[in-house]
Amino acid sequence: MSMNKEFTGPLSEYLQGLLDEKRSLGFKYKEQERLLGVLDKMSNSFDCRNGLSKELCLEFIKKDPNWHQATQENRVALIRVLAEYMIRHDVPAYMLDASIVTRQYEDFKPYIFNHDEIHDIFCAADNIKPHASKSHIFYPTLLRVQYGCGLRISETLGLTMKDVDFDKKLLHVKNAKNNKDREIPFSDSVAEHLQWYKKKIHPVYNDTDLFFRSNRGTMNYDKSSVNHYFHDILFRCGITSGGRKYGGPHLHNLRHTFCVHSMSIMFRNGIPHEVALPLLMTYMGHATLSETGRYLKLTAEAFPDLVEQINKIYGSIMPNLEVKTEYEDD
């Protein structure tokens, strides 16, 4: 096994082995490689003759006051993956309890657009006056991709011409947030808008050209300017927008709305949650099933007729939360 020059500690063989395994499965594992380097250096101060010790695990996840909670969660997830890898290779390893860090998922409360609001948003985008910036072509297409495919805005703006496969109706998302590429199917209606955009903006192109290129040639659109323009669209629709900072509706909520609406459709069509949640997890590019499970509560609140069905499965996904809606006493 080839050794990474950055891994020199007593567990270096297993750190490199885990890294090689993950990358062979398609994971980028860039941030994880950095964290494994931190663990490698830290391991020199611990007795690792008997494998991965409890003391080393606890020191690795020990929270710094300046950390965001997600930073500690990521360390817990990584050290558990490493322990599982070592155990599979018959090496002793302490397995941290996943519940050692509990995120307050009840604070997860994004704005979910209803179907009428989605209609109004598309209508406002479709009525943008023609402009040299091509905003009247860009926004009607972009917003339908955001709602219809559930991508992060950075993923959408990073798509190249080659990443949009019209034959298979797939978007190839690369260098995604959780270090794994994924393929996202798109509907016929989204395909029509993508084709229209391509015809208007890309009469001639190279495969490496950005699909959503700005009027400045091959440069990408700026995320902040796109978000700002979306607030203008919300204003035209009469939807109050306080922006992400103040908890009001913002562009990323189209991704949240996609997930909630998709989940409601699957439940109504009788797709069991054992199938629906892993499918949406892959579709959304979530790192864990619990991330996708958060949307169960939001789905119950947006579609109260599904509350009873969701209550039956909610405990198996998020045991510390209850589904509560404003509609229960009506």
User: Hey, which CATH number is domain 115-246, 1.10.443.10, 3.90.226.10, 1.10.10.10, 1.10.3210.10?
Assistant: 1.10.443.10
Between residues 175 and 259, which one has the greater pLDDT? 259
User: Mind giving me the DSSP string for 153-184?
Assistant: HHHHHT-BGGGEETTTTEEEE-S-TTSB-EEE
Backbone phi, psi, residue 305, to 5°: -70, -10
Mean per-residue pLDDT, 77-105: 84
Residues 18 and 27: their CA atoms lie apart, in Å, by 11
Q: pLDDT digit string (tens) for 18-64? A: 999 888 877 778 888 999 999 999 999 999 999 999 999 999 998 78
Q: pLDDT digit string (tens) for 103-153? A: 544 456 788 899 989 999 999 999 999 988 899 999 999 999 999 999 999
Among residues 43, 113, 32, the alpha carbon closest in space to that of 77 is found at 32
What pLDDT is recorded for position 178? 63
Q: Are 195 and 303 in contact (CB under 8 A)?
A: no
What pLDDT is recorded for position 310? 62
What pLDDT is recorded for position 308? 67
242: confidence class by pLDDT, cuts 50, 70, 90: low
Tell me which H or E stretch contains 185: strand 182-185
How many CA atoms lie within 13 Å of 278's alpha carbon, on the beta-carbon side? 3
Instruction: Quote the longest CA-to-CA distance of the chain.
Output: 70
Say what the alpha-carbon torsion angle 206, 211, 214, 220 is, to the nearest 10 degrees. -90
Between residues 242 and 32, which one has the greater pLDDT? 32
In the DSSP assignment, the letter for residue 227 is H
Tally of CB atoms within 10 A around 57: 23
216: confidence class by pLDDT, cuts 50, 70, 90: low
Q: pLDDT digit string (tens) for 139-189? A: 999 999 999 999 999 999 999 999 999 999 999 998 777 667 888 999 999
Mean pLDDT rounded to a whole number for the chain: 82
Q: pLDDT digit string (tens) for 286-308? A: 877 777 877 877 777 677 776 66
From residue 148, how far is each of 118, 249, 282, 286, 294 by CA, in Å?
11, 18, 15, 17, 20
- Residue 145, token pair as written in the block: 């991709």
